[in-house]
Chains A and B, each alone.
Chain A
């Protein structure tokens, strides 16, 4: 069974500073990994996904994430935070052992706060 752990339920950074949101996964088989963002009172939007093509994945809005098998991690980064990045971020895993319709297993989310 797969699972995802997001370290830090809340992360606060200054505008212009580096954003680092941590995600570690547990899976019996090599996983597919996703980062989704949820703005207040909205649905989830895909930021980026790892599908084994490349370990460094670039997404929308300047975000990127690196898959590190040795560390079982898929941390999300952005070099310079913007006020509009304030949102809830979810890491999710899709286990290859089941069918795609198994759905995603989500982490508990990290609330990103941007200080002016």
Chain B
């Protein structure tokens, strides 16, 4: 059983389009995250959610809008895609908002290519 799943795995689209990436975790965790990994493999936190509420937005352009319909899902919608949005996007989850030691479990990633 996959703990953190993301769809799609690959996404190729044109500049200016709007796209969504879905994430689901079946671990019963309270906190979920989106990370962006650029072409140089550098990973950076984008958002974190706890029980459907936004906790952190790390100066991400407002073209990126996360949506959490329930605590098991955190979807990422991107408007007006730009070339610089090409990256691998990882969803992750952890048990507890207030615990710094909780392991974060990562999804397999979604490789977004903007042409």
Q: In the complex the two chains form, what is the Cα distance from A27 to B6 in whole Å? A: 32
Asked if A68 is at the interface of the complex by the 8 Å CB criterion, the answer is no
- The count of residues in chain B whose C-beta lies closer than 8 Å to any C-beta of chain A is 33
Asked if A17 is at the interface of the complex by the 8 Å CB criterion, the answer is no
Q: In the complex the two chains form, what is the Cα distance from A99 to B49 in whole Å? A: 12
Interface on B for A, CB 8 Å cutoff? 4, 31, 33, 35, 40-45, 48-50, 55-56, 58, 90, 92, 94, 96-109
Interface contact B41-A108, CB-CB below 8 Å: yes
Closest A residue by C-beta to B32: A101
Asked if A88 is at the interface of the complex by the 8 Å CB criterion, the answer is yes
Q: In the complex the two chains form, what is the Cα distance from A47 to B109 in whole Å? A: 18
Contact of A109 among B42, B45, B56 (CB under 8 A): B42
Closest A residue by C-beta to B111: A41
Q: In the complex the two chains form, what is the Cα distance from A32 to B100 in whole Å? A: 7
Q: In the complex the two chains form, what is the Cα distance from A104 to B56 in whole Å? A: 12
